[in-house]
Amino acid sequence: MRSDNVTKGMQQAPHRSLFNALGYTREELDKPLIGIVSSHNEIVPGHMNLDKIVEAVKMGVAMAGGTPIVFPAIAVCDGIAMGHTGMKYSLVTRDLICDSTECMALAHQFDALVMVPNCDKNVPGLLMAAARLNIPTIFVSGGPMLAGHVKGQKRSLSSMFEAVGSYAAGAMSAEDVEEFENKVCPTCGSCSGMYTANSMNCLTEAIGMGLKGNGTIPAVYSERIKLAKHAGMKIMELLEKDIKPRDIMNEKAFLNALAVDMALGCSTNSMLHLPAIAHEAGVELNLDIANEISARTPNLCHLAPAGPTYMEDLNEAGGVYAVMNELDKKGLLYTDLITATGRTVKENIAGCENKNPEVIRPVDNPYSETGGIAVLKGNLAPDSGVVKRSAVAPEMLVHEGPARVFDCEEDAIDAIKGGKIVAGDVVVIRYEGPKGGPGMREMLNPTSAIAGMGLGASVALITDGRFSGASRGASIGHVSPEAAVGGPIALVEEGDIIAINIPENTLDMKVSQEELEARRARWQPREPKITSGYLARYANLVTSGNTGAILKNHL
């Protein structure tokens, strides 16, 4: 056992004395030491219940013969961080979470790990750590929030942000906004639509690192506690069988995750996180393959913000395994892969039938024959741009319009709420990429303002930053190369005609090559926005959005 390095032998007597100081008995030190990575805190709604999940995991580990030991991981609430400088500190925590977990796990020589995340960056950050450490690991999240109810309709956080836009347009009263404020987030848990947190928790099932229901069982259901106990017990089986993350997260598993991503209509942020996780697992996940998988994978779900259904509905319909079972009917998954259940994908999904064809469309009657995410390329995005195709109004799948150019999110929001953006416009927000931001802010505020003002079916938004999983509409993010390194998005000028063709996967500006070359000759790099602290170090090391915004291993 790895933990023998801190518990066994005469040379480890000083180590044992420190365990004695912690109150551990000799009997506990004779068992495998199982690290439980707890993302619990009191500022993130999706994490406030994780203390209960952790206690259940500890019980499961102890019941199965291990010694559970808890240590923490940080977490940022993207909703609270949204729309101000705090959002610069969201994506960047993914690497802090990964690095700090590596430090804790190796410094203390844990034999195995149970990861307890829930929200946007914790799930991918801990998946990255699992792949990097490659010791037996299983995931159990805190679960999704229940949907709110406003005026007889189910609602969620995206509705709240759009209500602010409606108020700015004079279409909603302050009293109406207050009702949304008080009702859209009724419980703890990760926000109730197919936003980034729930996308990544569902994909944790799809990739094989979590048990059935990990992505969909609501946070407030007692079934979630039972799931956590089973995860605690299951880690002991994985340790005994020596099933490690890289045995599970191989190339075919990532292709399965992409297929499920397309079927569910996950957040575009999955196109940042899956390549980063794959990188840690030693797998090259080129985003070019995303369109290949999308071309053959039908979109089966329209959860909020793409449609009127929510995570609780997906759970009742059979969850992720039911979606995977639909996909398997057309041979769209690799089913012989081992998973954290100790069984293969095929064994996992056997008998997991679709219980509600209105929530999970049958594979022969999909919302569309192609997947929920598209990767676009063209002279505006030579490397790539990403859009949640399933949340785009049909009339905006092909669009041309004049560029309205802004060098930061705040200026764009002021213009939108000031009525300066009109139908047909293409809002371009640049210098918000991983390096230029720095931190690649999510931009739920501008997309929600557009939707709230009734322009969601007539205005597109393009950025080298990111869009929240709660964003809907023709919102194209991750444009690479980013403006800060001289990507073509830095060369766009007010009034340039931008051509978007999502079915053809293209994103271009109608400017001649000669004119672009002249603009490039005039372009000058900008001074860094932040020159000290963690963000400055991050900006120096981070790579482009199309590579997953991973950090370079060298200066």
166 labelled catalytic: no
For residue 438, cis peptide bond before it (omega within 30 degrees of 0): yes
- Cα separation, 294 vs 30, in Å, equals 50
Choice among 190, 368, 468, 471 that is catalytic? 468
- Could you give the C-alpha distances from 527 to 85, 159, 363, 485, 530, in angstroms and in order? 18, 37, 51, 11, 9
3-class SS of residue 138: strand
Give the DSSP letter string of 205-254: HHHTSB-TTTTTS-TTSHHHHHHHHHHHHHHHHHHHHT--HHHHSSHHHH
Q: In sequence order, which residues have a C-beta less than 8 Å from that of residue 167 and are 6 or more positions away?
A: 173, 174, 176, 177, 452
User: What torsion do the CA atoms of 341, 344, 348, 368 make, to the nearest 10 degrees?
Assistant: 120
For residue 382, cis peptide bond before it (omega within 30 degrees of 0): no
- Cα separation, 255 vs 257, in Å, equals 5
- Cα separation, 524 vs 484, in Å, equals 10
- Cα separation, 445 vs 84, in Å, equals 10
CA-wise closest residue to 412 among 398, 399, 425: 425
- Cα separation, 495 vs 272, in Å, equals 30
Count of Cβ atoms closer than 10 Å to residue 152 Cβ: 5
Do 143 and 224 contact (CB within 8 A), yes or no? Answer: yes
Tell whether the torsion through CA atoms of 323, 325, 328 and 334 is positive or negative: positive
**How far, in whole angstroms, is CA 394 from its chain's centroid?**
25
For 490-526, b/e burial (b = at least 16 CB within 10 A) is bbbeeebebbbbbeebbbbbebeeeebeeeeeeeeee
Do 413 and 449 contact (CB within 8 A), yes or no? Answer: yes
The structure tokens listed for 220 are 């407030």
- 554 phi and psi angles, rounded to 5 deg: -145, 155
Tell whether the torsion through CA atoms of 464, 443, 303 and 145 is positive or negative: positive
The structure tokens listed for 202 are 């569902």
- Cα separation, 209 vs 116, in Å, equals 12
Active site residues: 468
